[in-house]
Amino acid sequence: MKTFGFKIDPLTGEDYYEVYIRGRQLLSDSLLNKASAFKKEERLSLGLDGMLRSGVSKLDSQTDRAYEAYQRKTEDLERYIYLAGLQDRNETLFYRLLLEHLEEMVPIVYTPTVGQACMQMSHIQRRYRGIFITPNNIANIDQIFQGLSQPQVNLIVVTDGERILGLGDLGSDGMGISVGKVSLYVAIGGVHPAVCLPVCLDVGTNNPRLLEDPLYLGIRRPRLRGADYEELVEKFILGVKRNFPSALLQWEDFAKQTAFTNLDRYRERILSFNDDIQGTGATALSALMTAMRIKQTRFQDERYVIVGMGQAGTGIAQGIRAMLKEEGLSDEEARKHLFAVDMQGLLIEGDPLLEGPQEPLVQRRAAVDGWQLDDPNRIGLPDVVRNAHPTVLIGVTAQPGLFSEAILAETARHSERPIVLALSNPTHKSECTPKAVWQATDGKGLVATGSPFPPMDGNGRTLRASQCNNMYIFPGVGLGSLVCKASRVTNGMFLAASRAISSFVTPEQEAMGLLLPEMKDIRQVSAAVGKAVGIAARDAGLGRLLDDDQIEAIVTKAQWYPKYASYRPGTIRQWE
């Protein structure tokens, strides 16, 4: 049942919402509620007379009042709960507050605090957002979608909760990630909140803590696997295609093999991408592009050790390979620059644990002949660093302290300015701290981390580490793909996004060691990414045939800024 529709007055050209609900129901609708900002004529025409105090506020005053309440919270989880409650009451106010305090609040609505919230979601749940698809209701997928109150759906973020950040299987408590990603799509990308839908595929959990928790709100059974799981995903995708044929779908925090399977199976059938694979890879690649510019080197001048070959590690390695090949290296030449390390150690040809996407990343056995090893039966990370002489260390393992003082010191021996990307979230899972890198390199190391870390003074200057977070990529990729009517999302579009982000880093920021733009510019960065994606889609024959300036104009116009729309009452007949 739709609660409102987007309208344009044919006489005046004014944009407005045609509203189909009244009174208390209107005040309870987070997308429509203006609270004290309802004008007097709206109060009369929409059945609100007497339901609000007489004072009429502006959005600015409401924002000040909300921030005052936020500042009273003393713990990050309490701040998360407060912001979630505000979003459930009044989304326009929530997004205005978030935009005005973006650097302060992104770590609350997303990493690292969202991880803490997901760990306790069944205990802190107030209202439900989005939809939960289960084996018990998948047959009703069309009714579920058709029962949504929002006017349309253009963007879906879906998770099955099996690999939430570095925290593992959180079942349906992982919905917090889908909700958080949607919030960033709106705040950073400018996608209108009324067209976004967070989804959780609640297929059970293998987490004994949740199964034994009497307050857990998800399906209390082991995870659905095999053909039954694949059938549920297929029915979900078919439901999306029937009901929202133009929507973009983002796969989020699935387990490694499931993630690659879903991406390969559906990327040609539905406009979709996997943020953990493609988004992480593109963000890291952008940071590396900036680092090469600072060092005045090429990708082929560096040697890379990537630890943790899940979705993120594989996506990053694929991006580096693409750049090496773009510089003219063959597959075999590119292989010699990349050393991929997983649980079993260095990936080597013939390894029985290898999975399909990892095959191009393995080292030939001849390449490691003569290496000095601590254990002849396994080539561990210290062996790789000692023998491969890396200049770039990348960690996506969720193993805190993995890049030890000895590892960092050994890496610093082979490059005056080594690059270290310690990308695991949340903060306490990071492979090392920026401070440890700077201490090992006399302040010369170039660092990016998955969660924010404070700057450090060193050698008479301020040293800063960029937060290498996917929020630089996915909101702009989604925005650009949608407004340019792309038929699918390609690797070339992500490469264009990486270049657009890196180009935003100024010489002054580079001098401080920043590898990515500052958070204060991230909305403009998303617009630039959207433009780059639109151009790449057009050039590949997959998007609208507009010139560069036209693409930039429609991307900019599409970015929603939180302000209250004008309302006009619709008829009950239209609502029903």
Euclidean distance between CA atoms 533 and 472, whole angstroms: 13
Phi, psi angles (nearest 5°) of residue 198 = -80, 140
Give me the catalytic one of 17, 70, 181, 531. Answer: 181
Beta strands (DSSP E) in 163-247 are: 196-201
Distance between CA atoms of residues 98 and 562, nearest Å: 10
Active site residue 181: yes
Read off the tokens for 293: 């510019």
As a whole number of angstroms, the distance between CA 341 and CA 20 comes to 57
Query: Residues 6 or more apart from 144 whose CB is under 8 A from it?
Result: 131, 133, 137, 239
Cα 345 versus chain centre, distance: 28
**What's the rounded Cα separation, in Å, for the pair 228 and 11?**
54
The structure tokens listed for 562 are 């939180």
Question: Considering 80, 110, 266, 472, which one is annotated as catalytic?
Answer: 110
Cβ within 8 Å of residue 251, ≥6 positions away: 158, 159, 259, 262, 263, 272, 273, 274, 275, 276
Distance between CA 310 and CA 255 in Å, rounded? Answer: 9
Inter-residue contact 359 to 347 (CB < 8 Å): no
CA distance 171 to 175: 8
Annotated active-site residue 229? The verdict is no
Instruction: Print burial letters for 395-417: b (CB count within 10 Å at least 16), e (below 16).
Output: bbbbbbebbbeebbebbbeebee
Q: What positions carry a catalytic annotation?
A: 110, 181
